[in-house]
Amino acid sequence: MTQSTLHVAVIMDGNGRWATRLGLPRLAGHKAGAETLRGIVEAAPDMGVGTLTAYAFSSDNWKRPREEVDGLMTLLAAYLDSETPHLLAQGVRLTVIGRRDRLPEVLLSAIRNSESGTLHGSRLHLRLAIDYSAREAIARASRSPEYFEELLSSQPVDLMIRTGGEQRLSDFLLWESAYAELVFTRRMWPEYRPADLRQAIREFHRRDRRFGAIPALMPPPVLHERWLR
């Protein structure tokens, strides 16, 4: 992915509260959240987004009730199965980040099919974080030259968006977000719309990104290459 496109990361928070407020089961919120992601993926490339990383299931989410975890696993597999043809048609490449050794086979198989089926998509790189923990990814990189290289060469996050009103990173892309611009919104993820993403990107462009330098002396903004030298 070229550096002229943005890497946007989204923490899709608020599904459960949204559903509870409507008197619905929490899983209905996650289903609505999956619909929201569909709309965001469609709209993102036209806003200059080249990579979109979405936090679908954190390694800490295993602590949730069994029913919700199972529901999320089923929903993720169904999302991948039903979305893959659309992703392919839209030129979206899908990959999954995170641990794979604890995922159910039905989801693993959906991931493999979606990753191989969309391999050549070049309009948008959609990365779904499933059983993901940034601290775990960094610890793993410290033990393996391959993962270390992968982490150092990963595209930095330009814009990190969190819905649902909380203002924290919750172990998401900690290394990659070293200079990310943070945008928090109280809007619950099921209610997040492409217009909200557009607003966040406008806000991003208004920010003065100095990367610790003085504007006139600024190096080109290809931060991660510094770590590869």
Residue ranges that bind ligand FPP, judged by CB under 6 A: 12-17, 30, 33-34, 37, 56-57, 61, 75-76, 79, 128, 164, 189
Which residue, chain included where needed, has tokens 């407020």? 21
Q: Which is nearer to ligand FPP, 77 or 151 (CB)?
A: 77
Q: How far is the CB of 220 from ligand FPP (least distance, A)?
A: 34
CB of 20 to ligand FPP, least distance (A): 7
Alpha-carbon distance of 187 to 210, in angstroms, equals 29
Q: Which residues pair with 125 in a beta bridge?
A: 51, 93
Contact 158, 180 (CB under 8 A): yes
In this structure, which amino acid lies at residue 186?
R
Burial (0-12, 13-18, 19+ Cβ within 10 Å), 46? exposed
- Closer to ligand FPP at the Cβ: 57 or 204? 57
Q: In this structure, are residues 183 and 169 in contact, taking their beta carbons and an 8 Å threshold? A: no
Neighbours of 57 (CB within 10 A): 22
Per the structure block, which two tokens stand in for 187?
């809007």
Q: Which is nearer to ligand FPP, 76 or 200 (CB)?
A: 76
How crowded is residue 104: how many other Cβ atoms within 10 Å of its Cβ? 14
Taking the least distance from each CB to ligand FPP, the nearer of 76 and 141 is 76
Sign of CA dihedral 126, 193, 175, 219: positive
The nearest distance, CB 221 to ligand FPP, in angstroms, is 30
State the nearest-atom distance from the C-beta of 182 to ligand FPP, in Å: 17
Q: Are 119 and 139 in contact (CB under 8 A)?
A: no
Hey, is 56 helix, strand or coil?
A: strand
Tell me the catalytic residues.
Answer: 13, 61
Instruction: Between 126 and 201, name the residue whose CB sits nearer to ligand FPP.
Output: 126
